[in-house]
Structure 1
């Protein structure tokens, strides 16, 4: 819904959104309470009462309670602003800059977008008051390379005083693992064609006159692992990445940032293991959590799942800065922001008015996922996000004669697309949902045109400080917590290659990860590098601020935000830490007996049972050399989440408890509790010493185990020192656990949802019982299945009427699989019955199948079960079918001709598909 100027009503009455133009005197007014919290409604009511009593003349534009607690208003008399700011509910006001009050930024300057984020994360404060800038700390960036000639990044390479002193190009411009498998290395890692790594590097270390990265004085190593867009799928193979990781290790980087993900989604993934080893060698490893939040739980990717790696979730920036699009319609003229172009080489620039149209494709859809029946020569198409790739949308529009595409998001946020294809030569950008709807409304009244130049605008973001919708969820398949922490990653304006415009606004956990990497550098500088990797991790995690769940009245689950939003001022100021910084309780079985085993640190062997009352031991350190510390503890319950509805069906968007928008009180037994068992409270810790604390965490007893809840919360340790200042601080330690027996979870979707089934290749209809089929070069069978939970081992076999294994299918034995995402192209997996079977699980001994009657058998290992234990598998059998003849002899080389690609390529984050 677009922000608009309402028709005049009573002075302070809430009003309906209308037009999109914005006039001087428009402001955001933020209230003190957290969004979606009980105090929201009270603060809104109190605000209007006090405004009326003070005689403030204003018009309400929009009311925000879910993502932002406050209102947007027009003040006809701006002299009333000071009076408005004095109202008891008002925390701050921001000038509205979304339309006519936009800020134009010349190409030689940079927006304060990132600087504004620094005000909310303590970065500005440590820069100005402590003088920290990362001096003497080496940070490695494993990414697409960097345009080191950018003036805000130094404009130099390996010269004295230059920030860039290390690096290597492992791939060359033409490399892509999907199409050009042989990289062409080069000592020079300069990137002038992509921009992702330049953007990431700017977040860490830019040092322009109006713009500063988190740690602008670090020494940088740049390790390029991606080629130029347009060469294929934009991927990099694991071995190339491992080379880069090794080089960064050889160069003795103190911190390494990895803004990419993918792989298997398991901590056992090779890149995760390699990252863990770098941690063991004393390097702070920071990685993006992933951009698959719309696919729900278990979407965090490797290498961020490695033990000790700090994988980072994304929070929305408090400002949106981007190049603008000027819209001219019958009802209003206004400006909107847009994403970076899906292909960085094809910029969204229209110097003269260009007509905008919003047609339906040949199927009648507004998504633009099919050819168009008419021509749209010289026009820009407005289409809705969804149902196909951005490349498809751009290609169909181009075929119809369009000169550009605007995709309006299907969620409120802005996001970064990818439309790179050698066959697409027109620009594509994403705009916000509200802005797309506003243009559609204008089109109903008449012609709409746009112009788009290099003018940059900055606008306040109502979702600022909230979790980004795209940010991936944890846990990992073995219930280790993920993500570890969150940082600004949504709508970040940073450096970009000079050939591609110099600056760009991107969104992704790719942007949040370097933010935390820069923070780690500041900690290392503050401690003169006399601090362990584990201590850096604790300082970052335990000083973070957990945020309220926008879908509930409780705090957001640690499986969504980790320890919360990072705060570097708190990190460097901490006088105490606690070990471990996170508690993974594993699953509960509903018993009343206490237990002391579990997953306190990543990669311990999980217990077979953990009771509903779990005891954990933590060590609390007082780092003050002269003052005693007193400690108490508060339990902060977070939302419980589940991938399943009450009827057992799979839920892509996790269900949460407490429920959203419910005014009913939350029963105490539906939320976890925690108490300190020993020593007695208050705990007193001598200067420079430590105290072991025993905490009992009690799982919710009022939630049904059948609903498969993942519960969690935060232990807040309230600390007070007896120094003359009376210093007080707090630490947060998140905990999570599974309610029920995790080892009994089904992995395959239930048959009632239509999967698994066997069909003729190319058909979506399941074979009838006792169907007769022929296998030859044109006729094959396909096995369709869906994994609703990750599995360590999946077996697909043909069995005879006695349930005896005849052989494994192609791709019939797979280890460390993630679950199927429920996007258009990832709802289920396939395996082909093509005439070749295998004797062994390594799929190295092929033989020809013989005519006969068969069933397909699928064995999926349940969570945390032993692969050698036959009882640990969920087993499915297809209906019986008869193969009458097999006339094509297949070989190992071509037997998996068109099965799903289950390889280990890693796709970089930042450009959400």
Structure 2
């Protein structure tokens, strides 16, 4: 029987670095000269340090692993420019299920009328590997590399090798599946680079090594359906992606699954030069639950449980413990506070009682993306504590109704903008919910920006085949110039949610004009009155003239637009237009200001997204918080974060949420923009979760930001 996997939310999660709990540490060490010479030097003079990787294309660096005491002297060598700790990545364990409602024959992502199929275009997938023996991928697969095992066999991890994986196979099918299901570019040449091993575990060192190998193998397009929660424009991963684009490669990146809040985009989707992709719902049936007089609450399911398809009202029982239940409670739904008991214990206990379905809630309002990966035989979902109270205040019966949703942004899709550069991200959105594709021995329906990115990678392969001489910048321009503004009813999504809009495969190839630099990033407004200006270039690739008319935006207090006059661009000509605005920050509402400038091009109405940050905006000053063992110290840790602008005075305090005890860590003055590191003692602090409170003083104003961090036992 073929294995078929049902609706699962799949995310690549940034984990606590492995060196926190190990004697050895791994570092990306950027060097002054030839990294091969650095490797030879280390091997000769530092025999207890292992050189894991050498980067000579995307950066000049070596990756080294060794015990702290052995790395100490190497850290001080004059050829060492910078050392960055390696971060770990993982993907949750996949669970297989037999389901009748997955129809891979209906998954036909390539437009039937499209003459281009991606033929001759080389697409590299950096991921968990691929089942290249899958009948839908055999014709597409052309090779790759495994940077985990250092061989040319990038097969997914199999059950006898550790925790099995499927993520890379699913991504590959969306791009180039060619069989029962059909990817966006079914005749593209698929190359896969395995950077994540058993259980989807890996590191930034492996991902950069795989990306570099893909560049050396001369891929046209590289897909990265992975990332972190660090909203930083210049960490090693982001810089590696930018360099790959500079070398002529199109890099498509998943925008992240940390939505729905703003500022949740993570590296490497923060790359200015990459194509960052958010996830949209084109059509989906959503289950909603309620009791008498309660609001209708959308069902948020545990990823590996059966689909919520209750056909009639069910008795609802609210409990604090499984021990409160009778021996058998068939035909009843349990509402339960999770507490500290792990799901892998609760689920089997509830199965023994015969529950119809289960709803969990917690004070922390857990997201199911972060649940343990536990297979359940009954529908399982979570609600917030507030929603649980609403359900308990109603009658004793749980009602379920179903709503068909069209044209919605996936709630998990990360939003922009990018901290410190204020860049609009994502660049565009694509289908990312209930996406059927290949997995080892079968098919799966998954969701995530991990699924939206390969859809766009497939579209870029079609564009590349149609316009083989185009540069990455020109292909990105064709892609973003042809999107359609995504609206929900009469309401349009913001640029931070959808970028330029929803991908349009056919228009990306057939449209006769392009708009370069069509995202108007005006930056941060710090003056009491400021004029900002950006330029766009419109290219007419047709034999007929192109009329251009900018529509005056609705009048708004605090911003006055100065737009170009109406004109016509001749056949096969291009013209640059300046778009400027006079902005008075204190007459605008606080927060990020964003919207669209309309331009009429012949019969097409295009929307140019714009964004600027008001000086009073509530944007994060601190991002990318990390904690790791201080170099060469056993009882000290390094707190590392990214400051998005200069800070006059910063006080950092650690608060234990269990007893609200506050420990001031340090005070620092005159911080510059960029990465900041500070060591402090931890030998008297118990392990566990803490709140880190940043008191920020800027130009006489005091701001507070809070973040969570886990202090391990060293």
Normalised TM-score (structure 2): 0.66
- Deviation, 1:463, is 2.3
Q: Which residue of 1 aligns with 2:659?
A: 764
2:528 alignment partner, one of 581, 588, 591: 591
SS at match of 1:541: helix
Over 3 Å counting, the alpha-carbon distance change for 1:875 and 1:131 in structure 2 is closer
- Cα 1:699–1:215 shift into 2, 3 Å: farther
CA contact (8 A) 1:403 1:426 kept: no
Change (3 A) 1:876 1:258: closer
Say which SS state the counterpart of residue 615 (structure 1) adopts.
Answer: strand
Whether 1:809 aligns to 2:680 is yes
C-alpha deviation, 1:207, in angstroms:
2.7
SS in 1 for 2:230: coil
How many Å separate the matches in 2 of 1:742 and 1:762?
28
Q: Which whole-Å CA distance do the structure 2 matches of 1:826 and 1:465 have between them?
A: 38
Residue in 2 aligned with 1:317? 282
Structure 2 equivalent of residue 530 of structure 1: 469
CA offset digits 1:817-845 (Å, max 9, x no partner): xxxxxxxx988338xxxxxxxxxxxxxxx
Q: 2: distance between equivalents of 1:349 and 1:464?
A: 19
Matches within 5 A, 1:261-340: 261-262=227-228, 264-294=230-260, 296-319=261-284
Deviations 1:332-352 (A, max 9, x none): xxxxx9999745xxx7599xx
**CA–CA distance in structure 2, aligned partners of residues 404 and 145 of structure 1:** 38
1:746-765 residue pairs with structure 2 within 5 A?
763-765=658-660
Q: Provide the rounded CA distance (Å) in 2 between the counterparts of 1:425 and 1:144.
A: 21
Q: Measured at CA, do residues 342 and 526 of structure 1 come closer, stay the same or move farther in structure 2, by a change above 3 Å?
A: same
Give the corresponding residue for 2:580: 696
| Matches of 2:419 and 2:398, distance apart in 1 | 52
The match for 2:594 is: 712
Decide whether the 8 Å contact of 1:538 with 1:578 is kept in 2: yes
Quote the residue 1:144 is aligned against.
128
SS in 1 for 2:174: helix
CA distance in 2: counterparts of 1:747 and 1:316, whole angstroms:
32
1:851-898 superposed Cα distances (whole Å, 9 cap, x missing partner): xxxxxxx67597xxxxxxxx7996999xxxxxxxxxxxxxxxxxxxx9
Q: Does the alignment pair 1:736 with 2:611?
A: yes
Task: Give the one of 152, 162, 168 matched to 2:145.
Answer: 168
User: 3-state DSSP class of the match of 1:317?
Assistant: strand
**What secondary structure, in the 3-state scheme, does the structure 2 residue paired with 1:503 have?**
strand
Q: Which residue of 2 aligns with 1:9?
A: none
**Mapping 1:200-215, distance limit 5 Å:** 200-209=171-180, 211-215=181-185
Structure 2 residues not aligned, in runs of 5+: 1-97, 159-163, 290-297, 362-366, 624-650
| Separation in structure 2 between the aligned mates of residue 385 and residue 283 of structure 1, nearest angstrom | 50
Between the aligned partners of 2:616 and 2:342, the Cα distance in structure 1 is: 44
Alignment root-mean-square deviation, CA: 5.1
Aligned match of 1:565? 502
Alpha carbons 1:794, 1:860 under 8 Å: kept = no
Separation in 1, partners of 2:147, 2:314: 43
Considering fraction of residues, name the structure with more strand: 2
What residue is the counterpart of 1:628 in the other structure?
A: 545
The whole-number CA distance in structure 2 between the counterparts of 1:791 and 1:683 is: 42
The CA deviation at 1:533 is 0.3
1:221 aligns with 2:92: no
Consecutive unaligned residues of structure 1, counting only runs of 5 or more, are 1-103, 157-161, 172-182, 328-336, 363-369, 451-458, 593-610, 638-667, 721-727, 749-754, 768-780, 797-807, 813-824, 831-857, 863-870, 878-897, 903-913
The total of aligned residue pairs comes to: 561
> 1:133 aligned to 103, 114, 117, which one?
117
Q: C-alpha distance in 2, partners of 1:194/1:489?
A: 20
Mapped contact 1:747–1:791 kept (Cα < 8 A): no
In structure 2, the partner of 1:472 is 414
Structure 1 residue 513: deviation in Å? Answer: 0.8
- In 2, the alpha carbon distance for the partners of 1:202 and 1:687 equals 40
How far is 1:685 from its partner? 1.8
- Residues in 2 aligned to 1:386 and 1:532: alpha-carbon distance in whole angstroms: 54
Alignment of 1:605-684 (within 5 A): 611=530, 613-624=531-542, 626-634=543-551, 668-670=555-557, 674-677=561-564, 681-684=565-568
Mapped to 2, the partners of 1:460 and 1:202 lie a distance apart of 30
Q: 1:487 aligns with which of 430, 445, 467?
A: 430
Q: After superposition, give the CA deviation of every residue in 1:637-674 in whole Å (9 maximum; x if it has no partner).
A: 7xxxxxxxxxxxxxxxxxxxxxxxxxxxxxx4258553
Is the 8 Å Cα contact of residues 265 and 301 (structure 1) preserved in structure 2? yes
